[in-house]
């Protein structure tokens, strides 16, 4: 049997190529609700940092497979969504539309509702309390943010994908973003990325601002 060329990831309950993880989820041999996408991204980026070189096509493969897992998880949380089509022949616009659908679901449902969010996701400082905006932002924000990540993966040189000595995690990036939002109330995804982000930094930022599930 030919060995998979997909990126390898290691999360609780699974250690192997990402396409196998996706296959197990799609065949209902593994419950997508048990897969923490933030942990998956952290595990992959830890592997990336240990590599001397990283092919750009592997990063693109990771982005494509991980995005499909995000949509599968959204569908498992709301079964009334239309079935996710096979990836063969799927264009970047198809992916954007599916991410937009997911963003709409997130906006309508929320994770725990506005009241719970206000209680658990607030920062206290002298003069009052600052509440974070709903995760995902505007209806189109999630899809727009992911498009930026895909664009980075397409145009960056291999050596620019992960900068030497770069260290970040979803948990760390989430804390940084929450601190920014506490101070500025609303921050655009472009601002969070900065002037010259690497793909690795962009992926962590995207996950930190969208799907901490």
pLDDT of residue 126: 36
pLDDT tens, position by position, 56-75: 566 666 766 777 777 666 66
How many domains does one find in the chain?
A: 1
- Report the DSSP pairing between strands 128-131 and 122-125: antiparallel
Residue 105 or 130, more confident: 105
Residue 26 within a domain: yes
What angle, 0 to 180 degrees and rounded to 10, lies between the N-to-C axes of helices 37-49 and 199-210? Answer: 170
Residue 62 within a domain: yes
Mean pLDDT score, 34-57: 69
The model scores a pTM over 0.85: no
pLDDT tens, position by position, 77-94: 555 544 555 544 455 555
Residue 76 within a domain: yes
| Domain residue limits at 177 | 8-82+90-210
Whether pLDDT at 134 is above 60: no
Residue 68 within a domain: yes
Q: What is the mean pLDDT of the chain?
A: 61
Q: How confident is the model at residue 163 (pLDDT cuts 50, 70, 90)?
A: very low
pLDDT of residue 20: 83
Cα separation values, 150 from 3, 16, 120, 165, 193, Å = 26, 24, 32, 23, 13
Residue 27 or 87, more confident: 27
Residue 3 within a domain: no
Annotate 168-197 with DSSP letters as a single string: --HHHHHHHHHHHHHHHS---HHHHH-SS-
Those residues whose C-beta lies under 8 Å from the C-beta of residue 207, and which sit 6 or more positions away, are 37, 38, 41, 170, 173
**C-beta pairs of 27-31 under 8 Å, 24+ apart in sequence:** 31/76
What angle, 0 to 180 degrees and rounded to 10, lies between the N-to-C axes of helices 18-26 and 56-77? Answer: 20
Residue 196 within a domain: yes
Residue 203 within a domain: yes
Instruction: Work out the burial of residue 157: count CB atoms within 10 Å of its CB; fewer than 13 is exposed, 13-18 middle, 19 or more buried.
Output: exposed
Cα separation values, 100 from 90, 93, 96, 145, 166, Å = 15, 10, 6, 10, 30
Residue 1 within a domain: no
């Amino acid at each position: 049997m030919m060995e998979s060329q997909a990126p390898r990831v290691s999360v609780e309950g699974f250690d192997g190529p990402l396409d196998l993880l996706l296959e197990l989820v799609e065949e209902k041999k593994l419950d997508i609700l048990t897969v923490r996408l933030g942990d998956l991204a952290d595990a992959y980026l830890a592997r990336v940092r240990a590599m001397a070189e990283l092919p750009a096509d592997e990063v693109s493969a990771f982005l494509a497979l991980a995005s499909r897992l995000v949509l599968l998880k959204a569908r498992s949380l709301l079964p009334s969504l239309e079935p996710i089509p096979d990836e063969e022949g799927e264009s970047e616009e198809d992916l954007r539309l599916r991410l937009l659908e997911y963003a709409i679901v997130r906006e309508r449902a929320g994770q725990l509702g506005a009241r719970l969010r206000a209680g658990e996701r607030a920062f206290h400082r002298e003069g009052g309390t600052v509440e974070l905006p709903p995760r995902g932002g505007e209806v189109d924000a999630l899809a727009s943010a992911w498009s930026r990540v895909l664009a980075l993966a397409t145009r960056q040189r291999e050596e620019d994908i992960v900068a030497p000595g770069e260290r970040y995690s979803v948990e760390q990036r989430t804390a940084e973003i929450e601190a920014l939002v506490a101070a500025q109330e609303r921050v655009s995804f472009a601002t969070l990325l900065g002037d010259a982000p690497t793909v690795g930094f962009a992926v962590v930022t995207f996950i930190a601002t969208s799907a901490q599930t």
